[in-house]
Amino acid sequence: MKKTSLNLPREFKGKNILITGGTGSIGLGLAKQLIKYNPKEIRIFSNDENSIFEAKENLGENHIYK
């Protein structure tokens, strides 16, 4: 089996990322980690308006929330 290594900063830099369920514990944690790699845009989708507000407070306004 061939071992593959990822260069995460290169993989995500300048990319558009969509996270469904992005206000849950896993989705929000993923968004926090991905922000470090300078994506062009992170879109976070959730059907809970209060959770979206809290995500904006935690992650900042520079991302798109739906």
State pLDDT tens for residues 15-61. Answer: 999 999 888 899 999 999 999 999 998 888 889 889 888 888 888 87
CA distances to 32, 36, 47, 50, 57 from 40, in Å? 14, 11, 23, 25, 20
| pTM of the entire predicted model | 0.75
- CB distance 46 to 55 below 8 Å: yes
